[in-house]
Amino acid sequence: MNVLIIEDETALARELEIFLTNYNYVCEVCFDGISASEKIATSLYDFILIDLGLPDYDGLDLLREAKKHDPEAACIILTARAEINDRIKGLDLGADDYLPKPFSLLELQSRMQAIVRRKFGVKNNIVELGGFLIDLTARTISYYNSVINTITKKEFDLIAYLILHKNRTLTRMQLSEHIWGSVVINDYDSNYIDAHIKNIRKKLNAFAPPDWLETVRGLGYKIKINA
Amino acid sequence: MKLGTKLTLFNAISKLVIVILFVLLLPVLIKNISRNYVDSQLIKQKNKLLQIVKSRGIETYIENGEAYGSYLPLKEEYISLDEVDPDYYLDTIKRGKRLFSEGDTLEYRILSHTFKIKNKNYLLEIGKSVDTLDETSAPLQNIAFQVLLGMILLTVLADQVYSTYVLKPLRLIIKTKLVGQKFPNFNSYRKVRTTTSDFEHLDISIHNMIETIADKFHKEREFISNASHELMTPISILQSKIENMFEEEDINDDVKTRLLEMQRILNRLKSITKTLLLISQIENDQFLKEDTASVAGLLQDVYDEISIRLQDKDISYEMTVPVNWQFVNINKFLLFNLFFNLVNNAIKYNNQGGNINITGVQVHDKYVISVTDTGIGIEADVIPLIFNRFKKLRQALQQDSFGLGLPIVKSIALFHDIEIDVISEKGVGTTFKLILPGTLIIVQ
């Protein structure tokens, strides 16, 4: 899929490019609004990532142009100015999502995946892991024919996030940011992730040992799926 | 007491004291005046009589050595002239009683004077009754008192009217500049019209002070807002770089552990910055208060979010809030964060196996939601400081906190006009009482 990255901070634009390329996206990068405007007018993209704080251009104008020339493209707004007015304005103008800086690249990827699923109406999104069937759309886990209903919302969020970033070690920090991102916490203690994982393992163990949920010693957790 | 009232009261009392003093002194004064007057009359009469004696001879009054005496019908005045011993000498004006042949004894002011004519010594006495004088003093005192009282009332009234008029600018300054102002949202400056230079000075000084404070306040807010925003991009870059490096294949586990450490530190920086930004956004009124939410529902959400922490410390969580309570005119995101931080603190400063109790009670037209823990408690002299930014007063069992939890709570509470009351006993526990105005909750 094609992604246009519009970001005036070259260092950040580079990291976005590296990360998305690793996830098999084809990236083009613009460091200013004028060249971005040209690209939008001439090419078609699946994703356009727009930084609102461009020195030469109002990011919201770029969003308008993108919606006009390339209505199929999914636009995600990136901004350091996470004010609610911007948020409402961005979504009003047809942005598909909105990520306030600083964000995790994993979060960006998960939002892009969500947009893809929404756009293409993916209904059958079931992953099979060691006998467990994990339905990412219906948000259920079952073992053969019995649904496991002891798994809480937070626990499912963790499993789903690990599946989305399969075969990649996610640190406790990345996992806490994902599941507690909406809370402004005064302290940052990611040890609670361990407690969650312990709970998940205990609940699943009643059916079968979830060996696919790996602890990467000293670093974090990983779900291994052989493609 | 107001300045105007004080002035009027002082005026009235001081005048009353002076008048009472004057009225009390009145009899003495009258006595003095009348005595002087009578004395001068007596001296005049004496001089006149001596004149007569000189020009017409003593025989006009005294013949054959017989004493002369004369008085008015009511005996309010009398004159007597008699021959006395040659050595006798007298020249006085005194009070004295005189007995008349009819048997009356009357009190007089008496002038006694001896003089010599043809080797004979004579004593002249002229008397004026003082009874009439004494009698007039009491009614005079009465009248004077009444008249003066009337005058006092009039002047007090005049004082009141004038002081009200002259103090009006001061009242206006107090009303518009001091009382009605809610810090830090000052209204725009309106000059108070006055011809009194002191008030003009006061008005301008107050205005200048407010302006300085407001300016400093805005600058501080602006600084925090700008600083937090400006920090977001560099943090974002660092975070992305660390995340990407983490996935590089040629990085060994030792480097990965160090990257993880960097990520942890960066997260702390991010957390602080986000919190400061949130506080500054609240203080800049950048949130709407249009949400409605069930109180029990919101607290349940907090519980869901935080239950893992409760479980970790084996803390029981009890909630007795009326299910029909509904938050209105609130910002759900902010109130969620308020309760989250309060409960998080209640966990953090609690003992293993402790208890957290959340209750809701209606008190008159207000609603009180209390979060009580069975933790380590706060010392009384520290309580006023716990809402200060970056103050870590309580020794947290975990070292990751940076002292912004309660400042968030305070900012959110202030934004919603919620009052916070902290009751704590060392070693027993702490209760945070949120006193919500009636406008924030409806009972369904």
Rg (CA), chain B: 48
What pLDDT, in 10s, does the model give residues B278-306? 888 888 887 889 899 999 999 999 998 88
Q: At which of A87, A120, A153 does a domain end?
A: A120
Rg (CA), chain A: 19
pLDDT for the residue B28:
86
Average pLDDT for residues A59-67, to the nearest whole number? 89
Looking at the fold, whether A39 and A71 belong to one and the same domain comes out as yes
Scanning B34-93 for CB atoms below 8 A from A yields: none
In whole angstroms, give the CA distance from residue A9 to residue A100: 15
What pLDDT, in 10s, does the model give residues B72-89? 887 888 888 888 888 888
In angstroms, what separates the C-alpha of B413 from chain A's closest C-alpha?
15
User: φ and ψ at B250, to 5 degrees?
Assistant: -90, 25
Q: Is there a contact between A105 and B237 if contact means CB atoms under 8 Å apart?
A: no
Supply the range of the domain harboring residue A206: 126-223
In whole angstroms, give the CA distance from residue B402 to residue B76: 105
Beta strands in chain A (DSSP E): 2-6, 26-30, 47-51, 74-79, 97-100, 126-129, 132-135, 140-143, 146-147, 170-171, 213-216, 220-223
A83 to chain B, any CB pair closer than 8 A? The answer is yes
| Chain A residue with the nearest C-alpha to that of B288 | A84
In angstroms, what separates the C-alpha of A176 from chain B's closest C-alpha?
10
Q: Which residues in chain B are closer than 8 Å to A220, comparing Cβ atoms?
A: 260
B287 to chain A, any CB pair closer than 8 A? The answer is yes
pLDDT for the residue A199:
92
Query: What's the pLDDT band for B177 if we cut at 50, 70, 90?
Result: confident
In angstroms, what separates the C-alpha of B312 from chain A's closest C-alpha?
7
Closest partner CB to A188 (pick from B287, B305, B400): B400
In whole angstroms, give the CA distance from residue B381 to residue A61: 55
Q: Say yes or no to pLDDT of A36 above 90.
A: yes
Average pLDDT for residues B385-406, to the nearest whole number? 67
Contact B401, B330 (CB under 8 A): no
Angstrom CA distances, B121 to B42, B43, B369, B422, stand at: 20, 19, 112, 105
Closest partner CB to A186 (pick from B253, B286, B405): B405
Q: Is the dihedral of CA A155, B249, B242, A55 positive or negative?
A: negative
Contact B96, B110 (CB under 8 A): yes
Residues β-bridged to residue A170 = A221
Residue B368, SS3?
strand
Residue A51, SS3?
strand
Contact B368, B327 (CB under 8 A): no
Q: Which fold has domain B197-283?
A: Helix Hairpins (1.10.287)
Amino acid at residue number A43: S
Looking at the fold, whether A115 and A70 belong to one and the same domain comes out as yes
Residue ranges, CATH 3.30.565.10, chain B: 291-443
Query: What's the pLDDT band for A88 if we cut at 50, 70, 90?
Result: low
pLDDT for the residue B184:
57
Closest partner CB to A9 (pick from B233, B271, B312): B233
B176 to chain A, any CB pair closer than 8 A? The answer is no
If one counts the domains in chain A, the total is 2
Interstrand relation of B419-425 and B429-436 (parallel, antiparallel or unpaired): antiparallel
Q: Is there a contact between B400 and A189 if contact means CB atoms under 8 Å apart?
A: yes
Which range, A58-67, A182-191, B277-286, has the best average confidence (pLDDT)? A58-67
Q: Cis ω on the peptide bond leading into residue B139 (within 30° of 0)?
A: no
Average pLDDT for residues B417-434, to the nearest whole number? 93
In whole angstroms, give the CA distance from residue A41 to residue A44: 8
Contact B268, B239 (CB under 8 A): no
In CATH, what is the architecture of B291-443?
Answer: 2-Layer Sandwich (3.30)
Q: pLDDT higher for A147 or B400?
A: A147
Looking at the fold, whether A77 and A111 belong to one and the same domain comes out as yes
Contact B109, B128 (CB under 8 A): yes
Scanning B324-343 for CB atoms below 8 A from A yields: 333, 336-337, 340-341
Scanning A171-190 for CB atoms below 8 A from B yields: 171, 173-174, 177, 180, 182-190
A85 to chain B, any CB pair closer than 8 A? The answer is yes
B237 to chain A, any CB pair closer than 8 A? The answer is yes
Burial of A38 (0-12, 13-18, 19+ CB in 10 A): exposed
Average pLDDT along chain B: 86
Amino acid at residue number B400: D
Mention every residue, 6+ apart, whose C-beta is less than 8 A from residue A97. A74, A76, A77, A111, A114, A115
Q: pLDDT higher for B153 or B186?
A: B153
Closest partner CB to A84 (pick from B287, B309, B400): B287
What pLDDT, in 10s, does the model give residues B224-252? 777 777 888 899 999 999 999 988 888 88
Q: Say yes or no to pLDDT of A31 above 80.
A: yes
Looking at the fold, whether A22 and A116 belong to one and the same domain comes out as yes
| Chain A residue with the nearest C-alpha to that of B389 | A186
pLDDT for the residue A117:
85
Burial of B364 (0-12, 13-18, 19+ CB in 10 A): exposed
Looking at the fold, whether A19 and A110 belong to one and the same domain comes out as yes
Percentage of chain A exceeding pLDDT 70:
91
In whole angstroms, give the CA distance from residue A30 to residue A66: 14
Residue ranges, CATH 1.10.287.130, chain B: 197-283
Looking at the fold, whether A110 and A141 belong to one and the same domain comes out as no
pLDDT for the residue B397:
44
The token pair that represents B106 in the structure block: 């009357």
Q: Which residues in chain A are closer than 8 Å to B308, comparing Cβ atoms?
A: 154, 192, 195-196, 199
Q: pLDDT higher for B233 or B413?
A: B413
Q: Which residues in chain B are closer than 8 Å to A100, comparing Cβ atoms?
A: 232
Average pLDDT for residues A172-189, to the nearest whole number? 76
pLDDT for the residue A205:
92
Mention every residue, 6+ apart, whose C-beta is less than 8 A from residue B325. B294, B295, B296, B360, B367, B441, B442, B443, B444
Q: Say yes or no to pLDDT of B178 above 90.
A: no
Query: What's the pLDDT band for A186 if we cut at 50, 70, 90?
Result: low
In whole angstroms, give the CA distance from residue B158 to residue B152: 10
Q: Which residues in chain B are closer than 8 Å to A15, comparing Cβ atoms?
A: 237, 240-241, 243-244
Query: What's the pLDDT band for B133 if we cut at 50, 70, 90?
Result: low
Average pLDDT for residues B169-195, to the nearest whole number? 74
Looking at the fold, whether A133 and A29 belong to one and the same domain comes out as no
The one-character DSSP state at B177 is I
Q: At which of A120, A146, A181 does a domain end?
A: A120
Residues β-bridged to residue B359 = B320, B370
Q: Is there a contact between B275 and A186 if contact means CB atoms under 8 Å apart?
A: yes
Least reliable range by pLDDT among A113-122, A146-155, B133-142, B166-175: B133-142
Contacts 24+ apart (CB under 8 A), B417-425: B420/B387, B422/B378, B422/B383, B422/B386, B424/B377, B424/B378, B424/B379, B424/B380, B424/B383, B425/B377
In whole angstroms, give the CA distance from residue B163 to residue B5: 9
Looking at the fold, whether A137 and A188 belong to one and the same domain comes out as yes
ipTM field = 0.86
Closest partner CB to B244 (pick from A15, A84, A102): A15
Looking at the fold, whether A188 and A137 belong to one and the same domain comes out as yes
Q: Is there a contact between B244 and A187 if contact means CB atoms under 8 Å apart?
A: no
A8 to chain B, any CB pair closer than 8 A? The answer is no
A110 to chain B, any CB pair closer than 8 A? The answer is no
In angstroms, what separates the C-alpha of A68 from chain B's closest C-alpha?
29
The token pair that represents B24 in the structure block: 């009390």
Looking at the fold, whether A137 and A103 belong to one and the same domain comes out as no
Q: Say yes or no to pLDDT of B322 above 60.
A: yes
pLDDT for the residue B70:
85
B160 to chain A, any CB pair closer than 8 A? The answer is no
In angstroms, what separates the C-alpha of A186 from chain B's closest C-alpha?
5
Query: What's the pLDDT band for B140 if we cut at 50, 70, 90?
Result: confident
Looking at the fold, whether A147 and A212 belong to one and the same domain comes out as yes
In angstroms, what separates the C-alpha of B390 from chain A's closest C-alpha?
11
**Cβ atoms within 10 Å of B85's Cβ, excluding its own:** 9
Q: Is there a contact between A173 and B264 if contact means CB atoms under 8 Å apart?
A: yes
Q: Produce one character per residue of B336-348: b if its CB has 16 or more CB atoms within 10 Å, e if not.
A: bbbbbbbbbbbbb
A22 to chain B, any CB pair closer than 8 A? The answer is yes
In whole angstroms, give the CA distance from residue B262 to residue A171: 12
Closest CA to A200 of A122, A141, A145: A141
Percentage of chain B exceeding pLDDT 90:
28
pLDDT for the residue B398:
47
User: φ and ψ at B181, to 5 degrees?
Assistant: -90, 135
Q: Is there a contact between B305 and A180 if contact means CB atoms under 8 Å apart?
A: yes
Average pLDDT for residues A102-110, to the nearest whole number? 91
The CATH number of whichever domain residue A201 belongs to comes to: 1.10.10.10
A169 to chain B, any CB pair closer than 8 A? The answer is yes
Query: What's the pLDDT band for B132 if we cut at 50, 70, 90?
Result: low
Q: Say yes or no to pLDDT of B393 above 60.
A: no
Looking at the fold, whether A81 and A188 belong to one and the same domain comes out as no
CB pairs under 8 A between A and B: 136
